[in-house]
Chain A
C-alpha cells in the first residue's frame, strides 16, 4: 500500500493539472498541433527537493560579497554579502538570500539552542536568565521588518541594484518584545541606555536608548516561518526596527541596563567630529526614507519598446511608507506608484507603476515619503543642505538614502545613473 500511494497521488495531481492550469495544452491536440514534450522528472531526492524544498536548478539567484572582499575567505571567515534585489519577487526576502554583515571577519557561531541563554541584568530590580524555550512561552509578536546596513550606498562603480542597494533585506520576524522582558525584570528609573551583546568571538556590543527598547525592540527566534538562520543570529537576534543594521545584535546572549552611553567598539564607529554640530550624529541611528526601482535596474535589458511594470521597494526607519512616486523622464514629472499590499512600519513595501516605454533614451527613478513626513532626497538636495559642492567626490553623511537613477539606452540596456 505504502508504495502505491505516491503513484496514485501523482495520478490525481496530473488529472487535476489537466483539468486546471494546463487546459490550453490539453486542448492543443484537438487543434491538430503536437502536445508539448514532457519535461524530465526529478526522481526522489536529488538535492533536497522533498524534505526541505530546494528550488529549481534553473533558479540560480545568489548573494554576492559586498565591497569586493571574498566571503567566506580562504580561512572560512565571513564578511558582508548582499541580497539579489533584482531577482526578488514580492516583499519578503527569502531567508537564504537575506543579506548579512559581520562587524569584523567572523566565523559563524554554531550554537546549540538548548544551551543558549539570554541574561538581562544591570539597573533592574530582578536580573533574569531566559532559555530559548522560556522566551517561546512568553507572549509573541510577528512583524515584517527590514534590516539595512549603514554601508548600503551606491557608488559610480556599482552596476546592479544588488551592488547599490543589496545590503538591505526584509523578513517576517517572530519573537518576544524586549519591553515584555524588561517589565519582568523591572527597569530602574536610572537606566537610560542598554548594551546588547552577542555570543560570537568579538561578542559584538552596541549601546542603545532605553526608549527604543520600550518602544518596539524584539528578541526574534523566528524568521519567515522557521528558526532564525545562523548567519542572521540563531537562536536569538535582537531586532531594533528602523535602526542601522549593526544594532540588530545577532546570537544575542546579554542585555545590560546602564545609566550612560557605554561607548563599545561598535559605538565608537558612530562618532563624528564637531562638538557643536551634532547634525551628522543625528543621522546615526534611524534610517531615512529610501526607495529603489528593482526592475528595470542595472545590467538588465528591455527587449523592446512597449509595456513594462516598473517594480521597486520602499522603506523607512521612521515608520510606514505613505507614498511612492516614479519618474520615467529623468525627474521632470513624478507619477504616483501603487502599493502591492499595505505598507508596514519599518518594513520594505512593494510598489509598482505601469509604464509604456517609447524606446527613447531616458532615466527612471523613484522617491518616497514616510508616515512622519520625511521625504527621500536627491543627492543634490543633500549636498545643498550640507553646503557642499555636488560632484563625484560628494559623499552622503550618515546612511545614504538618496534617489537612485537608472539610465535606459535606446537598445534597452539599463545602467547606473551615477556612472
Chain B
C-alpha cells in the first residue's frame, strides 16, 4: 500500500505553485506508476495520442478478419452474419446518414473504429488482438467502405488524419449546464 500517497511529491507540487495549486485534503489514494497508467489508458481520443506503435493495411486486415473469427459473426465481407453489419448495403447513396449505422462509415474519426476493435473484439476474446492486427482490421473495414485505398498502411502517425466520409456533418453536443432545461422552449 506504500502509505497510499507519495507525500513529498504532493508537497513539492504545492511549493512550486504556491498561489494556484489546490492541495489534497484527505491524503487518501496512491500515485499510480507510469506503467499502470499506460496499461489502462486505452480510450483513443480524436488526435490519436494514446495509440500504440504498430501498422497494418487492408490486405493484412482481411487475413486477420478471417483468422480471428470476425467473418463468423459479421459475414464474409462485413455483411451477412448475426452481428451488426460492417459494410453499407447502399454504398452509392450520397448521404452517409442514409447508408446505415455502420461504425467504420459513420464514425467521425478513424480512431473510434480502432478503439472499438481494440477494446471490444473479438467477442469473448477481447483484448487479445495485437496493435498490428487492430491497425490492419481498421484499414480493412475502412477499405471495404470506400474510405481508404486497399494499399494504404495505417499506423500510429496517420490514423487520426484519415478523412472520414461523415466529415463534420453531425450535430455537436451543446454545453451542458446544471439546473437548466435540456432544450430551451421544448416542446414550446
Contacts and interface: CB of A to CB of B under 8 A. Distances in A.
A148 to B, nearest CB: 13
Interface in A101-135: 104, 119, 121, 125-130, 134
A101 to B, nearest CB: 16
Most A-side CB within 10 Å, residue of B23, B24, B179, B187:
B187
A129 B115 contact: no
B21 A125 contact: yes
Most A-side CB within 10 Å, residue of B9, B25, B182:
B182
B176 A212 contact: yes
A280 interface: yes
A214 to B, nearest CB: 9
Interface stretch (B59-67, B100-108, B140-148): B100-108
B149 interface: no
B13 A126 contact: yes
B35 interface: no
A391 interface: no
Interface residues of A, number: 69
Nearest to B119: A203
B126 A201 contact: yes
B19 interface: no
A385 B183 CA distance: 12
B43 interface: yes
Contacts of A265: 103, 112, 115-116, 119-120
A140 to B, nearest CB: 12
Interface string B20-39: 01111110111110001100
B40 A119 contact: yes
Interface of B is mostly: loop
A262 B36 contact: no
Contacts of A126: 9-10, 13, 24, 31
A271 B10 contact: no
A275 B171 contact: yes
A3 B112 CA distance: 65
A260 interface: yes
Interface string A4-21: 000000000000000000
Given A202-B119, A284-B173, A372-B181, A275 B168 contact: yes
Given A197-B40, A385-B188, 7 more contacts: A121-B41, A211-B176, A264-B115, A268-B108, A372-B179, A374-B182, A381-B188
Interface of B: 4-5, 9-10, 13, 21-26, 28-32, 36-37, 40-43, 45-47, 97, 103, 106-109, 111-112, 115-116, 119-120, 124, 126-127, 168-183, 186-188
Interface of A: 104, 119, 121, 125-130, 134, 137-138, 181, 183-184, 186, 195, 197, 201-203, 205, 209, 211-212, 215-216, 253-254, 256, 258, 260-265, 268, 270-275, 277-288, 317-319, 371-374, 377, 381-382, 384-385, 398
